A = this chain, B = another copy of it.
Amino acid sequence: MDSIGIGLIGWGTVGCGVVRVLQENESIISNRLGMPLVIRRVADLDIETPRPVAVPREILTTDAEAVLRDPKIDIVVELIGGLEPARSFILEALESGKHVVTANKALLAQSGNELFEAARRFERTVAFEAAVAGGIPLIKSLREGLAGNRIDTIFGILNGTSNYILTRMTLAALPFSDALREAQQHGFAEADPTLDIEGIDTAHKLAIACAMGFGSRIQLDKVYTEGISRIDPLDVRFAEEFGYHLKLLAIGRQEQGRLEMRVHPTLIPSTHVLASVRGAYNAVHIRGNAAGSIMLYGLGAGMMPTGSAVVSDLIDLARDMFCRAPHRVPPLGFLPERLEWVPVKPMEDIVTRYYFRFSAMDRPGVLSKISGILGNNAISIAAVIQKGREVEGAVPIVMLTHEARERDVKRSLAEIDRLDVVKEPTRLIRIEDHESAEI
């Protein structure tokens, strides 16, 4: 063996990143492996549009099968995204005896269990460092670096688009729609931003990270998912007055054999390290029972960071190939037969602190009515402020609670919103401050 053959399927931004990293860092990679990683084929439906990197014309093809069937290709890199035909391509690559590297979080979150099972059957590996948190070596840290730990929590800002938007809403007091437009202009948000702003992309990543951290099968359908599109800058401002920052957080937690997996706008203390993660950066805070609090921080997307992650997987796989150990580390870090369907707490059972903003009429007795309902539902109030005076007959009353159960909160708010003194549906944002003390 004097080189490792690589085939790319998908020659978009990330594909170009992979090519550039392999080209620019060729000598470094050779110094690590003793041989080069050589791109043998690049398949894309569009091979005509000019790209920021060049590959020899003769290795370009519009036919993915030309990659999948090439005997000189050892590792297939799937970068087309989406569910199909990505899934079929990966299965076919594994069946042909090739290893697979993918950045496809949507597919892994949806079909990872099936794909990993297939990889095992064919004694091949599916590697996916690029699928979660871009250039940050999060997957390797969860799978290997923290392997001696019982992981208790995984907290993260896993979507740069949402974080950019929330950062702009916070620092420049922009409304959501303006911040989104700005993100689109800067190339941080796509024309259809739904996956990013509705928390779906974050949920994909959380589902994968939780499986790895907690030794569970992947359970995307159990991730509670709420995006940022309905956030009012007013709430960002009020939260700041209480010493909180608003972030779209992915929260994974393991407690007494049950998982929490949820993605939603979250208030974290302004002094928390995650609060200072700005713009398109990602950060993940992991708590292990041995390592304690760990934070990993970096660029979660983009051509070069994602290319970096793909190439680190390629180097890993090349090393596995040298020692004929295709299964050295199982994809999720646990032996497949030991992975469980760890039960996931229904959202109604979550216990956390809450921020409420009521739009109530400025009349005597209103606060007493509201707090009465909360009290009857075992929700106790930590702080309350009434901001400003009446606008169109209503004033905002902002309240922070002590720990309460989501079920009780939902029941109370339904009742409160039916009061005739309440003019608009109450805004609710969950608070996380468990993890802040030790950081």
Chain A residues proximal to chain B, CB less than 8 Å: 17, 20-22, 24-25, 28-34, 129, 134-137, 140-141, 144-150, 215, 273, 276, 281, 288-299, 302, 304-305, 307-312, 314-316, 319-320, 322-325, 327-329, 333-335, 338, 439
B25 touches A149 (CB 8 A): yes
A146 touches B137 (CB 8 A): yes
A323 touches B328 (CB 8 A): yes
Distance in angstroms from A228 CB to nearest chain B CB is 23
B25 touches A290 (CB 8 A): yes
> Given A141-B140, A149-B308, A311-B148, do A292 and B135 touch, yes or no (CB 8 Å)?
yes
B residues near A281, Cβ cutoff 8 Å: 439
B141 touches A334 (CB 8 A): no
B305 touches A291 (CB 8 A): yes
B residues near A28, Cβ cutoff 8 Å: 148-150, 215
- Count of this chain's copies in the oligomeric assembly: 2
B residues near A307, Cβ cutoff 8 Å: 148, 290
Residue of B at shortest CB range from A283? B295
Choose one: B17, B148, B312; the contact of A145 (CB below 8 Å). Answer: B312
B residues near A325, Cβ cutoff 8 Å: 322-325, 328
B residues near A136, Cβ cutoff 8 Å: 291, 294
Residue of B at shortest CB range from A21? B290
A135 touches B288 (CB 8 A): yes
B residues near A34, Cβ cutoff 8 Å: 335, 338
Cα distance, A276 to B297, chains bound together (Å): 14
**Can you list 17 A-B contacts with CB-CB less than 8 angstroms, sorted by A residue number?**
A21-B149, A25-B290, A32-B333, A135-B288, A136-B291, A137-B141, A137-B144, A141-B141, A146-B308, A148-B310, A149-B308, A273-B273, A289-B304, A292-B298, A294-B298, A295-B298, A297-B297
Cα distance, A21 to B338, chains bound together (Å): 20
Distance in angstroms from A58 CB to nearest chain B CB is 25
B17 touches A290 (CB 8 A): yes
Distance in angstroms from A186 CB to nearest chain B CB is 15
B residues near A22, Cβ cutoff 8 Å: 148
B residues near A299, Cβ cutoff 8 Å: 291-293
B residues near A24, Cβ cutoff 8 Å: 150, 289-290
Cα distance, A335 to B34, chains bound together (Å): 7
A148 touches B312 (CB 8 A): yes
Cα distance, A319 to B125, chains bound together (Å): 15
B residues near A320, Cβ cutoff 8 Å: 328
Distance in angstroms from A312 CB to nearest chain B CB is 5
B316 touches A304 (CB 8 A): no
Cα distance, A136 to B137, chains bound together (Å): 12
B215 touches A31 (CB 8 A): yes
Cα distance, A304 to B148, chains bound together (Å): 10
